[in-house]
Amino acid sequence: MTHNSKSKSSKFVVDVHQHWAPLEALKGNPTVSRVTDNAFRVDIKGISSLMYQPYYDIDLADKVNSEAGVDKRILVPSMVVAVLAAGGMPVLEASKRVHDATAELISTRPWLASFATVDPFDPASLVEAERAIKDLGFKGLFLESSWMGRWYDSEEVYPYFEFAQANRYPIYMHPPQLPYGYQIMNKWRLEEVVGRPADTSMSVARLICSGLLDRFPDIQIVLAHMGGDVIPILGRLDFGHRLGYEGLPADQHAHNKLLPSEYMRRNFYADTMGFNLAQLTAAVTVFGTDRVMFGTDYNAVPLSPTEHMDLVNRLGVTESQREDIFWRNANRLFRLSLAETGA
């Protein structure tokens, strides 16, 4: 079955999870090399990954998405800042460069939007995040689930989360190029298919158990890849909390006030990327149909967005709930200004 703007099952389709790399910015970067006519390879710390043509060829990406019936796409700047940093560029400079290149791209393509990405451990870079959102019109913050091997469970990241909460900026969380444990994942795409979802769930566990989400209770985080591995470990996180920590060293006690699973419908959303109807069904159950939003990872994983649409269409939800997943939830959270009624 083919999908296009005439036959699709939703008024709009908003994809909150697409990538883009400004090729110009990567020129001369020592980690990037062309390996085929339509792909580059990125080599960092012994991990090799591929960057396919739709990742850097926006015209091709526009064509595929238009044919699939995707009306609006939010570009996540995952990897590009890290690749630039790995090539020796200071992170703040890399952030500015990616923001400016993305803003220029979007200026002639109103169907695109983006998130702001800065070093969450560098409070001085929040000015750049604010510039990207307020001046360039970006739709929220982008945060890697771990930042160059560091996690968000200490006071060092309070300014970042304070900034997000005070301004009501949603955070889109996506695993990094090199997830934790990447050293044992240097083949079979293991860092991509196994390591990255694990990085997301480790990050969620740390956000909860450190008490960070009690300190910043209004934070809203959209998790890539149906939440990574969060769903299957929720029961385990809960039993850890129920057993308590008495007998463990004091610095190993968790600080969350609620059951870990109770944070899912308060602080988290999940996107639909994962090619697995069973997990998507579970995501709708765990997060709620008002907290799941359409996301495909197209460009990084150049398989047609229609595959993801098919999965959403096969979910056992009402028509209205399907619209929520395809666009209304993203429209509300990211303030995209898509109109409910009209042509």
- List residues binding Zn ion (CB under 5 A): 297, 300
CA dihedral 90, 162, 225, 313 (to 10 degrees): -130
Nearer to Zn ion, 73 or 131 (CB): 73
Least distance from Zn ion to the Cβ atom of residue 160, Å: 21
Nearer to Zn ion, 40 or 216 (CB): 40
Least distance from Zn ion to the Cβ atom of residue 297, Å: 4
Least distance from Zn ion to the Cβ atom of residue 79, Å: 8
Nearest Cα to Cα of residue 276 among 307, 299, 242: 307
In the complex, residue closest to Zn ion by CB? 297
Residue 255 backbone class (left: φ over 0; alpha: ψ -120 to 50; beta: rest): alpha
Nearest Cα to Cα of residue 77 among 61, 55, 57: 55
Least distance from Zn ion to the Cβ atom of residue 17, Å: 6
Which residue has 């969060």 as its token pair? 230
Nearer to Zn ion, 15 or 297 (CB): 297
Nearer to Zn ion, 55 or 216 (CB): 55
Q: Are 90 and 63 in contact (CB under 8 A)?
A: no
Least distance from Zn ion to the Cβ atom of residue 42, Å: 14
**Residue 318 one-letter amino acid:** T
**Residue 88 one-letter amino acid:** G
Which residue has 């890539």 as its token pair? 224
Nearer to Zn ion, 69 or 175 (CB): 175
Helix (H) or strand (E) run with residue 142 in it: strand 141-144
